[in-house]
Amino acid sequence: MSHAARGTAALPPRREKAHVRRVTEHPDGWFRRFACSVSDAVGSYWAFVAALGVVLVWAITGPVFHFSDSWQLVINTGTTIVTFLMVFLIQATQNRDGKALQLKLDELIRAQRKARNVFADLEHATEAELKEFEEEFRQLRRGGHRPETAVRKAAAEVKKK
């Protein structure tokens, strides 16, 4: 049964082969591979256990080193360096994940006939535009419109502008 016979809109054709690869296989360079590998590793249970072990060993050795300034400097310096470097690694992986999620949402919006395509680019909207959309949806919820009606009403408002 064709899309027209079912009453649904056909989506534009896609490329014949989907090129889905693991992020570590993608030729984005050494930093992307490194950041993703480190992010996977430090986000594990075992990384937490290792970090906890380091802190416990440090605390237990306190009496041996008479809780000296050098003993305290070891943990302070170590945690500062690790934290500083992890900020950049985490940000790199979060930027990529956020971008991928945004593209997935854009595809879902684009695929829906009744959805307003203006929402596919909201991350670039001004704060005033976001507040305007927020108020529009608040009014639609107050009006008790069904979702289908709310979308049509909101689309009609956009066409008026």
pLDDT on residue 74: 94
pLDDT on residue 151: 67
Q: Where are the domains of the chain?
A: 28-111, 116-161
pLDDT along the chain (161 residues), means of 10: 45 47 59 86 93 95 94 95 93 87 83 78 83 83 71 68 59
DSSP the chain: --HHHHT-PPPPPPPSS-----GGGS-S-HHHHHHHHHHHHHTSHHHHHHHHHHHHHHHHTTTTTTT-HHHHHHHHHHHHHHHHHHHHHHHHHHHHHHHHHHHHHHHHHHH-SSS-GGGGGGGGS-HHHHHHHHHHHHHHHHTT--HHHHHHHHHHHHHH-
pLDDT on residue 144: 74
